[in-house]
Amino acid sequence: MRRYSAFAIAREAARYHTGWERAWKSPKPKKKYDVVIVGAGGHGLATAFYLGKNFGITNVAIIEKGWLGGGNTGRNTTIIRSNYLQDPSAAIYEKARSLYETMSQDLNYNVMFSPRGVMMLAQTEHEVRGYVRTAHANALQGVTTEFISPERVKELVPIMNIHGPRYPVLGALWQARAGTARHDAVAWGYARACSDMGMDIIQKCEVTGVRQENGNVTGVDTTHGQIDCDKLAMVVAGNAGHLAEMAGFRLPMESVALQALVSEPIKPCIDVVVMANTVHGYMSQSDKGELVIGGGTDGFNNYTQRGSFHHVEETVRALVETFPIISRLKMLRQWGGIVDVTGDRSPIIGKTPLGNCFINCGWGTGGFKSIPGSGWAMAETVAKGEPGSLAAEFGLNRFTEGRFIDESVAAGVAH
């Protein structure tokens, strides 16, 4: 792999950029792989990357029914934070956050991780208590957060109306080292690195069946033919239930549409990510200048990647109230993605009822921020055949035992 650098750009500029090589190859699938990963989104690619990097397993195919990074990796609001309340969540999201910090260097691909800080507004006394609790837990979990005053909120975000007639800002949970990254670049950077390790990324290849013998997986049928494997990793969103059905099991999960939108670009006006759960809205400003805004999920099963407009309304009115100067700005584009929501709204990572078949799904609205941590944990699970400490508590058995990982406890549900 030829390294990217300012020097490389200068070199290529001399020949009008005609000498750049492919970021990743598009090979035909081989007959058999050690590991087949279904889903070339951020999570699938990260799983592949850490299989190679941490375990030296590189005879890997990542198969994707559409284009790589084209699911929720490419349609989220790019927030990265780890200020979760429950231990297992804090652990995996903090792992992810710390991996994001060095991802550009690790992948030699600038994913533009921007640790600009994330604040979650407390707008009721109840929310204050919830966030103060989180700050206490985070301190013991090794996650650096603090509860800050309304004055400090205003200092960080001067355009905020902290004296809203409806909900005054009473403070915020602040994670200074949280932030955003360029979502597409995360997928592309991983893809380039995986391809460089000799892994095969096979796009426009849909799984049509899961092959099994004696309770163990042996391969998959795809639109590109049969592909055999020793181990199968299902790492998809919006399609996990469907895949699981092919493999003969059901998941405690439903698929719903989640929406987001952006404004037209303006000059910088908000330097941090703001999440306001009481009024349901969150907003940051991309490096291009667009305000990136997240909305809510629909209350019904849906695979259309279109959501209902009233969620956009609810989010926008909350943000206009919170940031009055945005009223005359305009919505440029709205879109939806399909998220898989589990019974406790936390993800599932681990073994399945089918031997040598592993699953990583159900990230709901929180998938992007977890990508490297999720990939790390999943790679370990696949390589060792058993979940390691990061993944152990996210297994399917928690629904039988009632051992939930419920994050709605302190901090609303938005991510």
Partner 1 sequence: MSTRLASGGRLIDRSKPKNFTFNGKRMKGYEGDTLAAALLGEDQMLVGRSFKYHRPRGIVASGAEEPNALVNLGQGDRFEPNQRVTTTELFDGLTCTSQNHWPSLEFDVGVVNNYAARFLPAGFYYKTFMAPAAAWKHVFEPVIRKSAGLGQVPTEADADRYEHYYHHTDVVIIGGGVAGLASALAAGRSGAKVLVMEQTHHWGGRAAVDGGEIDGQSVEAWIDATVAELEGMENVTLRTRMMASGVYDHGYVLGYERVADHTPGDGRPRHRLWRIRTKQIVTATGAIERPLSFAGNDIPGVMLASAVRDYAVNWGVSVGDRTVVVTNNDDGYRTALTLKEAGLDVPVVLDARPEATGPLAEAARAAGIRVEPGRAIAKVNGGKRVTGVSICLQAGEGAALEEIACDAVAMSGGWSPVVHMWSHCGGKLIWDEAQTHFRPDPDRAPTGHDGEAFVVTAGSASGPLDLAGVLENAYEAGKAAAKAAGGKAIRKAGPKADAEEAQPMAPVWIMPQGASIKKRMKMWLDYQNDVKVSDVQLAAREGYESVEHTKRYTTLGMATDQGKLSNINGLAILSDALDQEIPTTGTTTFRPPYTPISFGAIAGEARHEIFQPIRRTPMHQWHEDAGAYMEPVGHWRRPYCYAKPGETNEQAVNREVLNTRENLGLLDASTLGKLIVKGPDAGKFMDMMYTNMMSNLAVGKCRYGLMCSENGFLSDDGVVARIEEDTWLCHTTSGGADRIHAWMEEWLQTEWWDWKVYVANVTEQLAQVAVVGPNARKVLEKLNAQAGGGMDVSKEALPFMQWADGKIGAFDARVYRISFSGELSYEIAVPASQGRAFWDALLEAGEEFGVMPYGTECLHIMRAEKGFIMIGDETDGTVIPQDLGLNWAISKKKEDFLGKRAQQRSHMTDPERWKLVGLETLDGSVLPDGAYAVGEGDNVHGQRNMIGRVTSTYYSPTLKKGIAMGLVLHGPDRMGEVVDFPTVDGTNTVIKARICDPVFYDKDGEKQNV
Partner 2 sequence: MLILECPYCGVMADETDLHGGGEAHLKRFGPGSSDDEFETYLFHRKNPKGVHFERWRHVSGCGKWFHAARNTMTLEVYATYSAQTTEPPQDVIDAVKAKHPDWEGYK
Provide, rounded to whole angstroms, the least separation between the CB of residue 67 and partner 2.
20
Structure tokens at 113: 């991780």
Residues 361-400 interacting with partner 2 (rule: CB under 8 A): 399-400
Residues 338-397 interacting with partner 1 (rule: CB under 8 A): 389-390, 392
User: Among 248, 253, 413, which Cα is nearest to 347's?
Assistant: 253
Nearest-angstrom CA–CA distance, 272 and 276:
13
Q: Which is nearer to partner 2, 161 or 308 (CB)?
A: 308
Structure tokens at 126: 């109840």
Number of Cβ within 10 Å of residue 264's Cβ equals 12
211 is in the binding site of which of partner 2, partner 1, none (Cβ under 5 to 8 A by kind)?
Answer: none
Residues 75-134 interacting with partner 1 (rule: CB under 8 A): 87-88, 90-91, 101-102, 104-105, 108-110, 112-116, 123-126, 129-130, 132-134
Distances (CA, A) of 259 to 72, 123, 319, 328: 11, 23, 15, 21
Residue 302 in the binding site for partner 2 (CB under 8 A):
yes
Sign, CA torsion 354/243/256/379: positive
Single out the residue of 47, 76, 83, 141 in contact with partner 1 (rule: CB under 8 A).
141
Which residues does residue 171 pair with via DSSP β-bridges, in sequence order? 122
User: Among 271, 261, 270, 281, which Cα is nearest to 120's?
Assistant: 281
Nearest-angstrom CA–CA distance, 275 and 338:
21
Single out the residue of 255, 285, 322, 381 in contact with partner 2 (rule: CB under 8 A).
255
Nearest-angstrom CA–CA distance, 145 and 147:
7
Provide, rounded to whole angstroms, the least separation between the CB of residue 322 and partner 1.
10
Structure tokens at 373: 């941590």
Provide, rounded to whole angstroms, the least separation between the CB of residue 247 and partner 1.
26
253 is in the binding site of which of partner 1, partner 2, none (Cβ under 5 to 8 A by kind)?
Answer: partner 2
Number of Cβ within 10 Å of residue 208's Cβ equals 12
User: Among 32, 35, 74, 72, which Cα is nearest to 57's?
Assistant: 35
Residues 207-246 interacting with partner 1 (rule: CB under 8 A): none
Per this entry, what is the length of the chain?
Answer: 415
CA contacts within 13 A on the Cβ side of 364: 21
For residue 25, report the phi and psi dihedrals to the nearest 5 degrees.
-85, 160
250 is in the binding site of which of partner 1, partner 2, none (Cβ under 5 to 8 A by kind)?
Answer: partner 2
Residue 407 in the binding site for partner 2 (CB under 8 A):
no
Residue 18 in the binding site for partner 2 (CB under 8 A):
no
9 is in the binding site of which of partner 1, partner 2, none (Cβ under 5 to 8 A by kind)?
Answer: partner 1
Total residues contacting partner 2 (rule CB under 8 A)? 22
Query: 11, 187 in Cβ contact below 8 A?
Result: no
Residues 172-201 interacting with partner 1 (rule: CB under 8 A): 182, 184-185, 188-189
Query: 35, 18 in Cβ contact below 8 A?
Result: no
Using the rule CB under 8 A, give the single segment among 213-221, 282-290, 363-371, 378-386 that binds partner 1.
282-290
31-55 core/surface letters (b: 16 or more CB in 10 A; e: else): eebebbbbbbbbbbbbbbbbbbbee
Residue the block writes with tokens 């895949």: 243
Q: Binding marks (x or -) toward partner 2, 309..328, rule CB under 8 A?
A: xx------------------
Residues 335-354 interacting with partner 2 (rule: CB under 8 A): 342-343
Q: Which is nearer to partner 1, 110 or 226 (CB)?
A: 110
Residues 215-244 interacting with partner 2 (rule: CB under 8 A): 241-242
Q: Which is nearer to partner 1, 246 or 329 (CB)?
A: 329
In 3-state terms, what secondary structure has residue 137? helix
Provide, rounded to whole angstroms, the least separation between the CB of residue 281 and partner 2.
18
Using the rule CB under 8 A, give the single segment among 11-19, 48-56, 173-181, 303-311 that binds partner 2.
303-311
241 is in the binding site of which of partner 1, partner 2, none (Cβ under 5 to 8 A by kind)?
Answer: partner 2
Q: Contact positions toward partner 2, by CB under 8 A?
A: 241-242, 250-255, 298-304, 308-310, 342-343, 399-400
